[in-house]
Amino acid sequence: MAMTEQRVSYTLDSSLETIDNAEEKATRIATELGFADDEVMQISMAVREGAVNAVLHGNAYAPDKKVTLAFERTGEDLVITIRDQGPGLDLSKIPNPLAPENLLKTSGRGIFLMRSFMDVVEIRPSQTGTELKLIKHVHGPTAGGKEASQ
Amino acid sequence: MSMKVGSRQVDGVVIVDCSGRITLGEGSVILRDTVRELLAKGNKKIVLNLQDVNYIDSSGIGELVSAFTTTKNQGGELKLLNLTKKVNDLLQITKLYTVFDVKDDEAAAVKSFK
């Protein structure tokens, strides 16, 4: 795929299939854009976690609510936007999963993983839904992204 | 590829061979049901062999934590065996590597139970 500006968007149901679907689309697009294998994995996992949040926590599987997923290749970045139609995420309730008291919690790691894998993560909640923006910078062939291990 | 599990006994320890993806939905449910059934049958020494688990998401990580704590709360022990690099990296960045007892040799894992 040529490195020119381009955008593609999808409107998806609030279902488990949407989560797998979003991940597959992210994997395909990141691969086509020439990201390294480990970066493709990071991007696809971040999109999966974003889709999980939109379907489960945003739209709560409501059949009348949709998830919008968009991929945009700008000059320097892959910009992925995921919007839901839920009540809006309460940013004050996002836990730190690395805090000792949260280590053994069975949930609450999705946003942390997104922040670990992407260069920029922006969360914009509103009364009509939450917009999540995930940005991965396009690196040269030897530059590589953030390492998964820190 | 969805998740598949098979279990076998080695010197009183149950080795659960997992393959595929541990993700929200089927994969997490299969893991949860498998560990609960083992505990219900009185198996308290459990090793999850993750050699063929090629993908895990935050829900899958949560399910591993749940399996660990559920087993511990019932007086048992659950250990992890043969992590792939992807799973190893995820446990490192989530700081769970220090919570789980992680082994890379099955015989050593079996012997490590008290």
pLDDT, tens digit, for every residue of A75-100? 889 999 999 999 999 999 899 999 99
Q: Is residue B95 part of a domain?
A: yes
Average pLDDT over residues A105-113: 96
Q: Are A116 and A70 in contact (CB under 8 A)?
A: no
ipTM of the shown complex: 0.90
Domain around B30:
4-109
Report yes or no: B86 at the A interface, CB cutoff 8 Å.
Answer: yes
Looking at chain B, which residue has its C-alpha nearest residue A113?
A: B58
Chain B contact for A50, CB < 8 A? Answer: no
* pLDDT, tens only, A127-148: 999 999 999 999 755 334 343 3
B114 in a structural domain:
no
Residue B93 lies in a domain: yes
Confidence grade of residue A149 (pLDDT, cut at 50, 70, 90): very low
CATH of the domain at B98: 3.30.750.24
B92 close to A (CB below 8 A): yes
* Any domain includes B76: yes
C-alpha span between A140 and A119 (Å, rounded): 15
Distance CA(A143)–CA(A67), nearest Å, equals 33
Q: Give how many domains chain B has, as a whole number.
A: 1
SS3 B32: helix
* In a domain? residue B100: yes
Q: Would B34 be classed as within a structural domain?
A: yes
Interface of A with B in 88-107 (CB under 8 A): 97-98, 103-107
**For the whole model, what pTM was predicted?**
0.89
Q: Which residue has the tokens 């949560």?
A: B62
In a domain, B31, yes or no: yes
Q: Give me the DSSP letters along B36-105.
A: HHHHHTT--EEEEEEEEEEEE-HHHHHHHHHHHHHHHHTT-EEEEES--HHHHHHHHHTT-TTTS-EES-
